[in-house]
Amino acid sequence: MVLSGPINQHKPFWDKGKKHIEIEDPTPVDRVLGRNHKFIQTEHGTTMQFGMKDFAEDACKAYEELSGCTLKTASTPFLPEGSLVDSDFETRGQMAGDASKILMKIFWSVTLARPDLMEGKSDLTRRITTWSKADDRRLVHLMSYLKGTAGYVLEGRTFDDAKALRLCVYSYADHASGVEDVKSTSGMILTLEGLNSFWP
């Protein structure tokens, strides 16, 4: 159970709950649904870091077991422009039967803490039924990036008065640039922002 609300209402809530169900004494929340939370509150405001290092390392280990190769590290989630040739899209990929297992494994971390993996994951997910050697190469690169950045966190911070905050939405559209099928991708991120605040 996770409780959120005014701090002066926490103890009465837990006391009442213990009369009806057997629960352990509450502890500070630092992990929910596989995502770690590092909460930092100062006189200036609040910072929260959302991380999924264990989850990322697990996904990389699963990839290595299924593919039989050892991951190195990569500085970006994408292959360099021009590194795929037409024949790469014509040959069935080695990971065709297992790619969905890996992509579903990282999907949860993408959703909760790693938006930097979203486009690479989305591009590969739509290729599951036509998996090729090109997709093998893109997947190993994406996983190599994940291995090298497993400790990355998504950080939110609020250092402004609530009245100074506003909702902002940023959209992303990549029009018809899929090399193999000229399909488009789209996405967005919604944030709470102020002069000194940014909360995804």
Average of per-residue pLDDT values in the chain = 89
Range 187-195 average pLDDT: 89
Asked whether residue 118 is assigned to any structural domain, the reply reads yes
In the structure, what pLDDT confidence band is assigned to residue 179 with cuts at 50, 70 and 90? low
Range 171-177 average pLDDT: 72
Backbone angles phi, psi at 27, to 5 degrees: -130, 160
Asked whether residue 168 is assigned to any structural domain, the reply reads no
Q: How many domains does the chain have?
A: 1
Asked whether residue 16 is assigned to any structural domain, the reply reads no
Asked whether residue 108 is assigned to any structural domain, the reply reads yes
Tens of pLDDT, residue by residue over 18-38, are: 999 998 888 877 888 888 889
Asked whether residue 67 is assigned to any structural domain, the reply reads yes
Asked whether residue 171 is assigned to any structural domain, the reply reads no
pLDDT given for residue 181 in this prediction: 63
- On the question of pLDDT at 176 being above 90, the answer is no
